């Protein structure tokens, strides 16, 4: 079997890795001059990309950079491959459907400014609101609080660590999420890196629908997430893994820490509107049916991305969408699980000798 992977972000790289591990000849196409996708702007350690380095040495793997794949090229490639994996990532950033959304700063732009050499710490005033609680939000927190280093998932550029510079303007950051702590899109490793910020107090609150309460935990489990994991691994292993994962997260969120700077993590909170008021922003928030108005100096949006338009890539050969090209939510860990499950389907199809329905 020969597989074509379109997209060299985390989803495409994980898919290629798992395909190669199953002995499937794989060619990866990436439109940019280097792989990594949006992961290139993340502040996760370089070790996260280490598993993909072995791909380049595998004789069954080929990578074509600076080679965008459109519907026309896909049609030309169809005869040369048995299966296609579309890992082209998400579309543009999601914008909240509220009055005043135009006042939001895009979180990815903050990260890119940091990579471009701007001193992002001094671009924001004392009190900042971040909408959305994924890994990008955690990176934004590290950048604004001055604890980020210029280290990406695939290389290190003039590694500048500002961890000792705690003279940033911002002293308070509030992150809000519509979901609860259990279903938070951030990874435990990203949360752990935020906990390492000097002189930082973290205040976590969930309101009435608290997953941090053992009594309410089963009521707020992510059912879709549970079902996907059960498909990939045995139920007993899932229960053990999930329990350990959740205990680690709960411990990090409930640990008592003091500091002159504060990070407020508010779960189960909806944003209703943003109004500019004399250089500041009046934000209407709602939790447990109660609406409140708070004043912030800046509002940053990290709500993820829209679905990408890949519907025109129609071919007769089996085609699988993976990662954010299928559903632009979650973090790299979720992308890895999805890629693993997708490749399991492809491998099963290969063994059965017929196309997926």
- At a CB cut-off of 8 Å and minimum separation 6, what does 235 contact? none
Residue 339 lies in a domain: yes
Instruction: Based on the fold, state whether residues 297 and 310 are members of the same structural domain.
Output: no
Instruction: Based on the fold, state whether residues 39 and 113 are members of the same structural domain.
Output: no
| pLDDT at residue 154, rounded to an integer | 39
Instruction: Based on the fold, state whether residues 84 and 153 are members of the same structural domain.
Output: no
| pLDDT at residue 50, rounded to an integer | 60
Instruction: Based on the fold, state whether residues 132 and 167 are members of the same structural domain.
Output: yes
Rounded to whole angstroms, how far apart are CA atoms 147 and 169? Answer: 13
Instruction: Based on the fold, state whether residues 10 and 109 are members of the same structural domain.
Output: no
Instruction: Based on the fold, state whether residues 187 and 332 are members of the same structural domain.
Output: no
Distances (CA, A) of 113 to 107, 226, 286: 10, 37, 31
Within 10 angstroms of residue 35's Cβ, the number of other Cβ atoms is 23
| pLDDT at residue 145, rounded to an integer | 87
Strands across the sheet containing 280-287:
270-277, 280-287, 290-296
Instruction: Based on the fold, state whether residues 30 and 78 are members of the same structural domain.
Output: yes
> Is residue 4 within 8 Å of residue 84, measured between CB atoms?
yes
- At a CB cut-off of 8 Å and minimum separation 6, what does 128 contact? 144, 170, 172, 173, 174, 296, 297, 298, 299, 300
> Is residue 52 within 8 Å of residue 40, measured between CB atoms?
no
Rounded to whole angstroms, how far apart are CA atoms 157 and 151? Answer: 6
Q: Please name which of 52, 51, 86, 90 lies closest in space to residue 69, comparing C-alpha atoms.
A: 86
| pLDDT at residue 312, rounded to an integer | 59
Residue 23 lies in a domain: yes
Instruction: Based on the fold, state whether residues 129 and 249 are members of the same structural domain.
Output: yes
> Is residue 142 within 8 Å of residue 312, measured between CB atoms?
no
With a cut of 70, list the residues of the chain below it in pLDDT.
36-51, 118-122, 148-168, 210-242, 308-313, 329-331, 354-357
How many structural domains is the chain composed of? 2
Instruction: Based on the fold, state whether residues 327 and 294 are members of the same structural domain.
Output: no
Among 301, 320, 335, which residue terminates a domain?
A: 301
| pLDDT at residue 315, rounded to an integer | 82
Planar angle of CA 169, 172, 175, nearest 5 degrees: 125
Strands (E), 152-279: 156-161, 172-176, 200-205, 261-266, 270-277
Q: Please name which of 326, 318, 325, 323 lies closest in space to residue 347, comparing C-alpha atoms.
A: 318
Residue 112 lies in a domain: yes
Angle between helices 107-115 and 135-144 (to 10 degrees): 50
Rounded to whole angstroms, how far apart are CA atoms 199 and 265? Answer: 16
Q: Please name which of 212, 190, 260, 243 lies closest in space to residue 48, comparing C-alpha atoms.
A: 190
Strands (E), 59-199: 61-64, 83-86, 105-106, 127-131, 149-151, 156-161, 172-176
Q: For residue 327, give the CATH number of its domain.
A: 3.40.50.720
Residue 357 lies in a domain: no
| pLDDT at residue 84, rounded to an integer | 95
Range of the domain at 83: 2-91+306-352
Residue 133 lies in a domain: yes
Instruction: Based on the fold, state whether residues 9 and 146 are members of the same structural domain.
Output: no
pTM of the entire structure? 0.68
| pLDDT at residue 336, rounded to an integer | 86
Give the CB-side neighbour count of residue 248, counting CA atoms within 13 A.
13
Instruction: Based on the fold, state whether residues 140 and 6 are members of the same structural domain.
Output: no
Residue 246 lies in a domain: yes
> Is residue 277 within 8 Å of residue 295, measured between CB atoms?
yes
Q: For residue 202, give the CATH number of its domain.
A: 3.50.50.60
Instruction: List 149's β-bridge partners, or say none.
Output: 161
Within 10 angstroms of residue 92's Cβ, the number of other Cβ atoms is 11
Residue 96 lies in a domain: no
Residue 18 lies in a domain: yes
Instruction: Based on the fold, state whether residues 119 and 267 are members of the same structural domain.
Output: yes
> Is residue 12 within 8 Å of residue 87, measured between CB atoms?
yes
């Amino acid at each position: 079997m020969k597989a074509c992977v379109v997209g060299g972000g985390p989803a495409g790289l994980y898919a290629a890795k798992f395909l190669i591990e199953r002995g499937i000849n794989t060619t990866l196409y990436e439109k940019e001059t280097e792989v990594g996708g949006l992961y290139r702007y993340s502040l996760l350690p370089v070790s996260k990309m280490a598993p993909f380095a072995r791909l380049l040495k595998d004789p069954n793997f080929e990578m074509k950079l600076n080679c965008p794949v459109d519907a026309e090229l896909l049609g030309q490639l169809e005869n040369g491959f048995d299966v296609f994996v579309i890992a082209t990532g998400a579309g543009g950033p999601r914008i909240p459907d509220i009055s005043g959304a135009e006042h939001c700063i895009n979180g990815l732009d903050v990260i890119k400014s940091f990579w471009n050499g701007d001193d992002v710490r001094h671009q924001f005033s004392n009190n900042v609101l971040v909408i959305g609680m994924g890994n990008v939000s955690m990176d934004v927190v590290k950048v604004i609080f001055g604890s980020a280093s210029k280290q990406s998932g695939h290389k290190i550029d003039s590694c500048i660590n500002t961890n000792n510079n705690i003279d940033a303007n911002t002293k308070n950051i509030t992150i809000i999420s519509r979901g609860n702590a259990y279903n938070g899109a951030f990874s435990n490793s990203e949360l752990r890196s935020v906990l390492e910020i000097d002189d930082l107090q973290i205040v976590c609150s969930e309101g009435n629908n608290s997953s941090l309460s053992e009594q309410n935990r089963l009521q707020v489990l992510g059912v879709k997430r549970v079902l996907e994991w059960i498909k990939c691994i045995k139920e007993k292993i899932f229960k053990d893994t999930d329990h350990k994962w959740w205990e680690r997260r709960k411990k990090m969120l409930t640990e008592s820490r003091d500091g002159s700077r504060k990070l407020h993590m508010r779960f189960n909170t909806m944003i209703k509107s943003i109004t500019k008021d004399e250089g500041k922003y009046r934000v209407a928030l709602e939790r447990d049916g109660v609406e409140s108005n708070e004043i912030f100096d800046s509002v940053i949006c990290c709500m993820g991305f829209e679905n990408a338009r890949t519907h025109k890539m129609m071919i007769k050969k089996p085609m699988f969408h993976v990662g954010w090209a299928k559903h632009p939510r979650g973090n790299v860990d979720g992308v890895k699980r999805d890629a693993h499950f997708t490749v399991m389907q492809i491998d099963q199809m290969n063994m059965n000798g017929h196309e997926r329905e």
